[in-house]
Structure 1
Amino acid sequence: MEFLENLSDSLSPYKDLVANIATTMTIAQLMTPILLINDIRKMKTTEGISIVPFLGGAVLCTLFLQFGQMIGDPVTVKVNIVGVLLSLFYLLAFYYYTPIKEKFSVWSKIGGAFIFSTGIILYTMYEDPTLVEMRFGMILTGLLYLVMAAPMADLKHVIRDKSTESLPFPIILMGFIVSFVWLIYGIILNSLFMVFQNIFAVLLTGFQLSFFAIYPSTPKVKDTKKKN
């Protein structure tokens, strides 16, 4: 696309600056689960807390690391190496505080995530080199959107209660900022995959943020009637 190429040429002098911002913001986003791990540490149990978000982060970072190596982008590789290491820490901490009766279930889920990631990586090694980048990118995009769209499950409650209390504002806001920075970086790299992926991510998180402008973040006060 000629327009994308021209925009890439205009922004290319800022490549290092945007790369540094993208790296810093993404690592900050990857560290947000530490807050939940700290809550688990205080409770000394993982009861009532799902391992799925931690597994999702581990799988995404592993696959994005593979994608970074595929396109030869050191920024993507560096960020996701940090992400993989942090994800391993989160999973180990989660397992440590998991009740004994549930440890096998945790191991089985970790094993399933490992098999899934390994299968996708093996696919990238044997797929047609002329097709693998786009197809692998589509798989990554689908997985990323599933993770980012998770708060959408609560939107019916937000609209019903006219309150955004159930939506994680810091996580959504950070997702919006990080997606926007990576969109700019994708334009600089002239990568159609990164551009389209992050355009939709910006729109998705922006749509979620719009509810904070419509509804308050405090619980809806329900009217109560006194009975004589």
Structure 2
Amino acid sequence: MTLMETKDVLALSASIFTVLQFLAGVLVCKKYIRNGTTGDSSCLAFITCFMSCSLWLRYGVLIGDLFIVSVNIFGTVLQICYMIIYILYSVKGPTIVKQFIVAICFVLLIYFYSIYQEDKVLAAKHIGFLSCSLTVLFFASPMISLVQVIKVKSTESLPFPIIIASMIVSCQWFAYGCLLGDQFIQIPNFMGCVLSGFQLSLFLIYPSKRTDQASYFI
């Protein structure tokens, strides 16, 4: 298998797992619909993922990478759907709408910059840096629960399937970034590997009951 074939196979596999990771939000939204409310849950993950996918989409266009473009078109559309559902079932609807509008305006501002920036290489570097930063933030979002995990010595509040998916996706995109020699793909996914690995280690330190583990997949 040539290097080009290896990159394509790896990128295809990473894209498939990334799509599956994005689809994990369906379970979250299903819970919102079933309960009739979003409760105390935060929309930070949805907003962060929306901005991340949108910027990676533009970065993929700038560097001419079909895999990055394709997976992030899907991710962007899906996150918009998730946000609509969140807004419909949130008691803080108007506030969430304002936050989402700010996120959209930020993304549009970056798009306008990249379109009117004559130096496309420089534009790709700037958008790559922003995409990298947002992806690290997205991977780190479950870390908010760590204080509670350590306090109660239970990993019940951690989304085990999502963390596993993040680990798999991060490793694959990191390897793909290494093959491309693209530091903007390498750095956030290396951080994703580290953060996911740390969160998974907590399941060994503070093992949940079997019933708790099973509840993650319901």
Bigger drift between 205-214 and 67-76 goes to 205-214
User: Cα deviation per residue 1:37-79 (whole Å; 9 max; x = unaligned)?
Assistant: 1111111223433332222221111111111101100000000
CA distance in 1, matches of 2:97, 2:25: 20
Residues 70-94 of structure 1: CA deviation (Å, up to 9, x unaligned): 1100000000111111112212222
The aligned residue for residue 215 of structure 2 is none
Residue in 2 that maps onto 1:170: 161
1:94 and 1:71 map into 2 onto residues whose CA distance is 33
Task: Report SS of the residue matched to 1:32.
Answer: helix
1:106 corresponds to: 96
Give how far 1:10 is off.
6.8
What is the distance in 1 between the residues matched to 2:156 and 2:209? 6
Q: CA RMSD in A?
A: 2.2
Q: TM-score, normalization: structure 2?
A: 0.85
> Using the alignment, how far apart are the partners of 1:90 and 1:218 within structure 2?
30
Aligned residues: 209
Q: Which runs of 5+ in 2 are unaligned?
A: 211-218
- Are residue 13 (structure 1) and residue 5 (structure 2) matched? yes
Note if 1:84 corresponds to 2:76: yes
Cα deviation, residue 104, structure 1: 2.2
Give 1:28 deviation, angstroms.
Answer: 0.2
Point out the more displaced range, 26-35 or 53-62. Answer: 53-62
TM-score, normalised to structure 1, is 0.82
Shift of 1:27: 0.3
More deviation in 207-216 or 63-72?
Answer: 207-216
Query: 1:73, 1:209 → 2: CA distance?
Result: 31
State how far apart, in whole Å, the 2-side matches of 1:155 and 1:47 are. Answer: 20
Whether the 8 Å CA contact 1:163–1:218 is kept in 2: the answer is no
- The answer on whether the counterparts of 2:55 and 2:130 sit within 8 Å (CA) in structure 1 is no
Deviations along 1:117-166, whole A, 9 cap, x unmatched?
Answer: 11222333345434332332222121111121122223233333332222
Q: Distance in 1 between matches of 2:154 and 2:101?
A: 38
Unaligned runs of 5+ in 1: 1-8, 220-228
Counterpart amino acid of 1:150? S
1:210 equivalenced with 2:201 (yes/no): yes
State which structure, 1 or 2, has the greater radius of gyration over its C-alpha atoms: 1
- CA gap of 1:50–1:195, structure 2 versus 1, over 3 A, is closer
Spell out the pairing of 1:1-228 with structure 2 (5 A cutoff).
11-99=3-91, 102-127=92-117, 128-218=119-209
